[in-house]
Structure 1
């Protein structure tokens, strides 16, 4: 487990020509101050640039030793303007070793066992390095030159006497803020070595129980001397036997009650032990995972690759352990809660904003289509249909309409195409439109059937997806046959696309791959958010990836054909997207709302 670091920061207010900052993240601690003679450029903005460069140089290091850390600071300082004076002190703790690099004047004071001394002090225009081992409860004060100058060593010793981290900051802050120049900053850091813990099980001490029976004492009764009627001996015998039976019943009941208490006590103690085991195990999983998550979040604006590595490590740790806890238990809920946060951050890292957005088509330019149902670019041109079986063939570059065709059909749903034809699926038919002469022909009659969710074409054949199977219609007569073999069962399929293999997307978000009718093993790896129910899949024979329009989450997801998640584009700024198609060769994606078609580059 990581060592604990307690810290607080003291930073003076910036002035027009002076700026200071105290920064910490992960195991990086930096104090920095900059001073300029003129104020033409914002000193604060420039300071943030230098601080960000320090972070980039530091976290880019594969091995963080003293030599490499010094090199990172040197590269940063080389970029500082000649008219700017600087004081930089960088510290990092690897295991229990403290590395310090100073650029310009600055200092680090160490308080150990009640005594304080300067362990590192920089020199003007020089880059110096220091290292040493830390001990438990050591307190470091990392200071810019302005801070060190305002509170010299002798006075610092008095102000920190018998005080802990927060108390030291509270004692020093008023002095720094009183008449500050703007170049004063410090980090007060307390190092606490974390000791490893062992899993301990409390021993179960069984209480000894003594089996006791109540004593029955008969009172002596003095009877008056009177005559008695004759006593029935058999009745007295019954009464005696009843008394003995009751006495035995009391004893047995007491034994049973005590036995039950003993068993319940053991069960309770075992449950208590199990809870302790779970708590210890949860801590051994949750704590490092939380640390990895925190590290990843801290790196998001510095190095996204490192941030993703940390988040993925946290995710793998949690997923490997969550099966060991009962579903719905407190421990399981804690793990699921952290997993949700991790997945949200991973999803944010991998989401790409839309760039080079361009309006290609608007229904205002059409005399027939008022509401877009679906779009397609397979075969070259941009094809657009509405729900009333109106078709537009337009340029995918500028949306200029080449032909508008009213099909002899109703309720058009899907559109696809190849180099020679455009195919349109309606409620009861499939139409084929010749690209050259723009003639429309009904080639497949689907009357009496329902539940069609997708259609695509390959080598002139048409493949139609219904809620149970894939129907194949073979050119030229379009005779129907079943494409799937081996009695495959589909679970609520919603979309289909073909690249030689048939890719089927189910409402659950599962993608299934079939080649020559037989299912191949395929699973998605690295996707952090489940694909929504209302989605469309898209690919082609010369594509390297498959693409999914997740209409529920308003995103397009790309996955390579081995199942590895690649990227996704956030579409929320473009309106409610209902259809899409991809030109992978020219790196363009086309999307449509009910009234417009847009393209963007990727």
Structure 2
């Protein structure tokens, strides 16, 4: 028996509907027609997932639909349910003389055999569970010269099947074969006359032959031509009396040139507008490769959800990240929506809070204020102006450092005596006593000079000055009145501080380096069993700024760009705050009050821990 070969044309619209998603796809032996009420970026992905699932099922149509229904049930469980009750679809498989068909909703399929018409779509139940979306299958035998008409509701509303049958008969040869291209052209013309918006259909003719079925059907677009009235409108416009006014003598000779110039300008403007519209559409239209990538990302997202149900958090994190990496190069509403959902899941898994800090103070009340560091003591926020040496307490200016002391470099708080220790680049250390608002220069025994430093720390009576250029920390002890001579604290053969950018002291000395590594020093040597660990891949330190802890603060806080990461003191990752704030220069943590303070520009912000 000779094979039955389908010859197919697809009737579509290029312009996307504003109130529904319509997809026609033909890849013999399979034909798909989908219509989903509403415009949701996910609907395109859903239809392509169905297509992919059926294609992967192979020749066994029933098994393919069973797997597709299981996939749809999983999608619904994952929260994507807007398509339920809004989907109309037909899936047709033609293999030689065998026809298999499943349908849902308002889409229809008719068989025309010897001018007799038979509808071969089954009546659908009012409600369908996702697991039984494509549960009704019709099968039958096809014969040569049979014709199938597959269409959405709008197609048959504009072209009733009886009239369509008559039209097809008028294009049928004596041997029963159909002039399918000519018939399709006639159908399209009628739909254009009726100004149908979104009719979609397949015309399929079955012929005997030995060749393989074509890999793609010929497409006829209803809206592919510009309106034939456009040229007439232009000609009428130019015949309008406005073009026949009497011009002044010095212009009348150039009337023709003026009209030509205006015509060219109008045409160029129209071309520009049309090109802009086309480019916008191209920018939102996905290639087949991009669609497959999005489908892969959706699959990984679903797999991650399944892993979470099993308690496999690390597997879920990995799958979510792989999904994000897949869609990262594709920028449109659909991928943005998917990325947002995945990031929400990753935030939960990674203990991430996205926060908009609250402004609590602005030092710009002081003219040309320039601040680089804050100290939060009780209810008061202190800072030092790096240009004028003024000491700020909230919105007051209670004191200032001597002008001959140089410029403010760095400071630290010494809780035991309630002092701010302020380092100036020319004269070294000054003590600002908060209780009585007094300021004095800190002296070293035998009037020795303070070592150069850019970072300070303190622990009870000990002061630590870090000079990254020298790769050394100098330790000073407070005596009865003065400070002891500075001693080199670190073993430079054991530890490299050249790239240190921040230091905090709670008995141990914590050093933050430019590359994001943290050293825990004791007796001038690093503890080799310490490192930061458990940081999620997407939260690795990239722009570290400061490390903060105190004797009374049980955890470590690291400012990294617009993020604050928290670790326990063994280095284990705890949580991250992602801040809706840029150019953060400093932070201070009041753990008892459960607040983090942040300095950006001249403004101080706070968030709750």
Structure showing greater relative contact order (alpha-carbon pairs closer than 8 Å, 6 or more residues apart) = 2
Give TM-score, length-normalised by structure 1: 0.50
Give TM-score, length-normalised by structure 2: 0.49
